[in-house]
Amino acid sequence: MQKVREGRVWCLDDNVDTDQLIAGKYLTIIDPAELRKHVLEGLLPAFAREAREGDILVAGENFGCGSSREHAPQALRAVGLGALVANSFARIFFRNSINLGLPAIECPGVRAIFRTGETARIDLERGEITNVTRSVTARFPPFPPHIQEILDVGGLVEKVRRELRAGGGEASA
Amino acid sequence: MSATTRAPAQGVARAERTGGRGQTLAQKILARVSGEPDPVPGQIVVGQVDLAMGHEQAAQAVLPFHQMEARRVWDPDRVVIAIDHWVPASTEGAAKLHQILRHFATEQGLRNFYDVGRHGICHQILAEDGWVVPGDLAVGTDSHTNMLGAVGAFAVGIGPTEFAAVLATGRIWLKVPSTIQIRVRGQLSRGVYAKDLILRILKEVRCDGARYKAVEFSGPTISALTMSERFTLCNMTTEMGAKAGMMAPDAATFDHLRGIAKHDMHPLEPDRDASYERTVDIDVDGMEPQVACPYSPDNVRPISELAREHIRIGQAFLGSCTNARMDDLREAARVFRGEKVAPGVRFIVSPASTRIYQQCLKEGLIDIFTDGGAVFTNSSCSACFGGNMGILAPDEVCASSSNRNFPGRMGAQEARIYLMSPAAVTLSAIRGEIADPREVV
């Protein structure tokens, strides 16, 4: 996992829910590339058109609240985000993101130091996110070890695969 | 639980800790399923899953399951597949999801597949057939899995990759949540329902007030609620961001589960000296019906204010896992009997399960609804999620008994959804504007 990432920022406010990330009408889509076309379609249509690989999404409180749909973090992962940062995340969205290997960084107060179009630099090891445009830095705690383990192998699929291979699961018995 | 709780039919574990900080119901259940005697909030535990439920989203678990190189589901008898969002399939995409699940169920010997014809909303299926019992750790691929906490279980929503891991191992890691205790006393007035109570609580706790936390209900009002009403409460703890919502089992729980419980119960109660992060006391005496206004389930106002504003509606939806059980439909039919849907309004009634559909047929409720110009649909999630039927056009207004009113939830981004009780939805359908059910019940 690349420890320092720098990218252009997109800002979103509080309580952006999964219906806004991917609307209910798209839930039968499985292909992430197809989902990507509809991400944030109602709320921020420019995002699907203009977001580039390496961009950084900075959101407010309770990001990803609402449904359990994994389509939401899948669509964001398909954008190739450099990072996903929020003041706080809704829990299923957070787990889904980590399970897909997408680091969802919780950093209280981060939203207040960014505006769309500015540049962010994130140092995952030092737990720092800097607004390069304005030279302001916010800090976040590192991931707990069990979450870091999932991210280090690229997601939950690989983690469980290794555990099953090692004979740790009933399914391989 | 309050002193008014009757002695449960099957002994509730009363071994209470003394001389220290007691455990909440969530801690008790996580202790049971993890083998950790004293799980503390923030600690990560690995729990043995008692029941895993998947709906259409579980189709996305099949690929990760195989990528994990898992060969067999850990325990096919502990897995329920219940399709509900698009039944029967209304798009080719949905048909493919159903096909993936049917194939997987056959391959893995998953006999508990509620396919088209035995279908219902997944949470209602779990409730009706006793799939979740006191003390269980249950997981489901839908965020409203919280609903099943009403039987005294820890029931939690997960995504499909996580579901694949549960299918492969039978286990899940969980961070032990702190608990918000919600104590309710007083008597619900005529025309005021469990839905109004949970909306009132949402106004207090807000949409992110229970993020990562458990919500535990108690108090005399809770003890007096039916199981259906308790399901409504726990269902919408999801809208507070809660990981799980629950109440201790009592006689009503055991009555409900008699003869249908699918596996052994482990009834648990919170310790008397349990440590809660926060306690919210609600007195429902004199409380009026509540409405969640656009665009958030915590944007709650008393219905009398809205009734004065004469808010015209284009659609009324009586359905969803929150409020489409027999008591909801009977109460709505009582309001609707002999009435007509207002001109310019569509009134969509969707029972929560096929069994409820059949019961409505037997009791003549379908006649009451359809005689008055409502459409009574096949059981499904229906209009709730804006992906199947009853979709709203821009600027349309809907009175709904469902659980979410975020922008775009039921169709167009600008459409406005007001959440309320089934009786309020029904009277609003008759009047053509948001109306206070106390006027007629």
Q: Alpha-carbon distance A66 to A43, whole Å?
A: 15
Short-list B214, B217, B244, B242, CA closest to B230 = B217
pLDDT higher than threshold 50 for residue A156: yes
Q: Alpha-carbon distance B38 to B238, whole Å?
A: 26
User: Residues B374-403: what's their mean pLDDT?
Assistant: 97
pLDDT in tens, B196-220: 999 999 999 999 999 999 999 999 9
Q: Which of residues 64-123 of A touch B (CB under 8 A)?
A: 65-70, 88, 90-92, 95-96, 99-100
Identify the pLDDT of residue A168.
57
pLDDT higher than threshold 60 for residue B109: yes
Give the one of A23, A68, A146 whose C-beta lies nearest to B408's C-beta.
A23
pLDDT in tens, A30-56: 899 999 999 999 999 999 999 999 999
pLDDT band for A173, please (50, 70, 90 cuts): very low
User: In percent, how much of chain A has pLDDT > 70?
Assistant: 96
Q: Alpha-carbon distance B405 to B410, whole Å?
A: 8
State whether A15 and B296 contact (CB < 8 Å).
Answer: yes
Q: Which of residues 154-193 of B touch A (CB under 8 A)?
A: 157-162, 164-165, 167-170, 173
User: In percent, how much of chain B has pLDDT > 70?
Assistant: 95
Give CATH 3.30.499.10 domain extents, chain B. 25-249+274-283, 291-439
Q: Find out whether B83 and B120 touch, Cβ atoms under 8 Å.
A: no
Answer whether B237 touches A (CB < 8 Å). no
pLDDT in tens, B178-191: 999 999 999 999 99
User: Residues B373-401: what's their mean pLDDT?
Assistant: 97
pLDDT in tens, B367-384: 999 999 999 999 999 999
Greatest C-alpha distance within chain A:
56
Top-level class of domain B291-439: alpha beta
pLDDT higher than threshold 60 for residue B249: yes
CA B90, B94, B99, B102: dihedral to nearest 10 degrees? -90
pLDDT band for A150, please (50, 70, 90 cuts): very high
State whether B57 and A61 contact (CB < 8 Å).
Answer: no
What are the φ/ψ torsions at residue B173 (nearest 5 degrees)? -90, 145
CA distance readout (Å), B8 to B14, B73, B267: 11, 35, 10
Domain covering B25-249+274-283, topology: Aconitase; domain 3 (3.30.499)
Identify the pLDDT of residue B325.
98
pLDDT in tens, B113-154: 999 999 999 999 999 999 999 999 999 999 999 999 999 999
User: Residues B289-296: what's their mean pLDDT?
Assistant: 98
In this structure, how many other beta carbons lie within 10 angstroms of the beta carbon of residue B308? 10
Q: For testing the chain B interface, which of A12, A21, A28 should be mutated: the one with the most B CBs within 10 Å?
A: A28
Instruction: Tell me: ipTM over 0.90.
Output: yes
Q: Give the gap in angstroms from C-alpha B62 to the nearest C-alpha of chain A.
A: 11
pLDDT in tens, B11-63: 344 444 443 489 999 999 999 999 999 999 999 999 999 999 999 999 999 99
**Which chain A residues are Cβ-neighbours of B411 within 8 angstroms?**
25
Q: Give the gap in angstroms from C-alpha B161 to the nearest C-alpha of chain A.
A: 7
In this structure, of A118-122, A142-146, B243-247, B375-379, the range with the lowest mean pLDDT score is A142-146
**Which chain B residues are Cβ-neighbours of A68 within 8 angstroms?**
57, 141-143, 145, 157-159
Domains and CATH numbers, chain A: 4-142 (3.20.19.10), 144-173 (no CATH)
pLDDT in tens, B61-100: 999 999 999 999 999 999 999 999 999 999 999 999 999 9
Identify the pLDDT of residue B29.
98
State whether A96 and B159 contact (CB < 8 Å).
Answer: yes
Q: Find out whether B138 and B145 touch, Cβ atoms under 8 Å.
A: yes
Question: What pTM does this model have?
Answer: 0.94
Identify the pLDDT of residue A125.
87
Q: Find out whether B75 and B170 touch, Cβ atoms under 8 Å.
A: yes
Amino acid at A142: P
State the average pLDDT for chain B.
95
User: Residues B276-295: what's their mean pLDDT?
Assistant: 97
State whether A68 and B386 contact (CB < 8 Å).
Answer: no
**Which chain A residues are Cβ-neighbours of B404 within 8 angstroms?**
17, 19, 66
User: Residues B227-248: what's their mean pLDDT?
Assistant: 98
User: Residues B387-405: what's their mean pLDDT?
Assistant: 97
- Tokens for B391, please give them: 């979709």
User: Residues B334-357: what's their mean pLDDT?
Assistant: 98
